[in-house]
Amino acid sequence: MIKKSDSRSLSRLIRRLMNLSTLFTILVFAVIVTILLSVVIRPLAQLGAQLVAHSTMREMTSPAFPENHGIRKLTDLSPASPGFEAWWKTVERQEVVNYRIPMIDGDKPLVYDEGREMPRALHTVDIIVELDGRELYRSAYLSQDGTAEEALAERNGLYDYFNKPYYAPILDDDGKQLGLITARIYPPLLVEIVGVTAALMLLLGLLCFLVNYWLGRWLVRPLLHSMHQLRGVFRRLADGDVDELFEKGVRMDRSYLEIEGIAEEADRIIDNTKMYMKRLQEQNEELEAQQEVLMRHATIDGLTGLINRRHFLEMIGPRLQEASVMLLLMDIDDFKRVNDTYGHVGGDVILEGIASVLKESTREQALVGRFGGEEFAIFVTGVTEAEVRQCAEKLRAVIEASAFDLPDTRSISVTASIGIAYTDTRYQTFEELYQQADVALYESKRNGKNRVTLFGDSSMRLPG
């Protein structure tokens, strides 16, 4: 039996220590959530800037704009225009639609939009309108000195990330650019919050890393030592050294109770091994049988016993490089009428009978498959064009002369239309062969059914 020693409970120790580390995990999680939320700010700012820019652009490019502002055409708009002040105020209203944090000037609260300089705004809107090489409008929040690009320049990468401007060109009816509207949603308070949050995340993440590192070393080192001893026990069990192992006993140095419990179960492994191996062998045999059934279902059509379309394509892939390749497509004529008259039982009898005829009438190296519904396919290599025509005509005649018996003693006769794609060259894909055979099959159907058509017999063309 296993020799026991005074040991600590690993689970109890881990629970106590993990309770402490959970506090750090919660903090880190909160920081990560904050960062994820901050990622939303940028696309929302871009969307807001786009809406502002397009709103201004649509107003300026409307047909009624010149008349409403006392100008002949849009490019005549200037500070001297009669309607310039009205247009200016319209653009200005776009930029003052923001939501400010309430501020107090002494004992007097500031009313909404009082004053242009607010220490903290959730967001502001920067707008610059340029027309015909002239700057007509620049937000009061921006520096009035320098070019538009200089006014929009950010002082650090964090602000530049969140405050990307959106550019909306002003175009005339001919698509010529007359000017440019630049808009930007500017969330300074949110950007500062994100920056502080990022710094806190880094500090807390580093602290959590250090705590978990030293905690892991303290817990894992004795655990690894015990696991190494336990591994040696199971290795000896696997080598068949059972008698010697249990005669001397096993002592787990500096072990945990849970690991010693595992060691106590080692002696039961020997008794159960043979039983498990026998059961495993029986299960393997059952799995092999099931795998064989599944493989048949995956490759063989259940009704006709022919290979299905997927397996047909897999098998002919390597053979497409052989010389003198033939692909034959066959479709049962008026099969819907058979189903309507005799039911699906009669249809199944026809399909099974046609499959039997195909198996008996084709050579061993030919691949015969059901492509779905009433369509069958045959693939052969190493044949001449004359042999192809002869075999196909023989197959059509056999099907025409066959009668298929129904369960109620009635018999059904059907005919089949055949289309053939044949090439005596190599390097032709299956898609090309299939298209040619399908076009030939369509010609057989169009010319009265119950006939064989080889692609190239007439002025056939591939679709497209």
Write down the domain spans for the chain: 14-195, 265-295, 307-454
246 or 298: which leads in pLDDT = 298
Cα separation, 197 vs 94, whole angstroms: 31
Q: Does pLDDT of 175 surpass 80?
A: yes
107 or 147: which leads in pLDDT = 147
- Where are the strands (E) in 73-162, listed by range? 104-105, 108-109, 124-131, 134-138
Q: What is the mean predicted confidence (pLDDT) over 409-425?
A: 91
pLDDT band at 99 (very low <50, low <70, confident <90, very high): very low
Q: Does pLDDT of 97 surpass 60?
A: no
Q: What is the mean predicted confidence (pLDDT) over 294-314?
A: 88
Contact of 462 with 439, CB cutoff 8 Å:
yes
Cα separation, 144 vs 150, whole angstroms: 10
Q: What is the mean predicted confidence (pLDDT) over 367-382?
A: 93
Cα separation, 397 vs 369, whole angstroms: 20
pLDDT band at 147 (very low <50, low <70, confident <90, very high): confident
Look over the chain and give the mean of its residue pLDDT values, rounded to a whole number. 78
CATH number for region 307-454: 3.30.70.270
pLDDT band at 442 (very low <50, low <70, confident <90, very high): very high
Q: What is the pLDDT at residue 403?
A: 92
Contact of 162 with 187, CB cutoff 8 Å:
yes
Which long-range contacts (C-beta less than 8 Å, at least 24 apart) are formed by 436-444?
436/327, 436/462, 437/327, 437/328, 437/329, 437/377, 438/329, 439/463, 440/329, 441/329, 441/330, 441/331, 441/417, 443/419, 444/417, 444/418, 444/419
Q: What is the pLDDT at residue 448?
A: 93
Q: Does pLDDT of 11 surpass 60?
A: no
Residue identified by tokens 């300026």 is 60
Degrees to nearest 5, angle at CA 324 with 320 and 325: 45
Contact of 411 with 403, CB cutoff 8 Å:
yes
368 or 110: which leads in pLDDT = 368
Q: What is the pLDDT at residue 114?
A: 46
386 or 212: which leads in pLDDT = 386
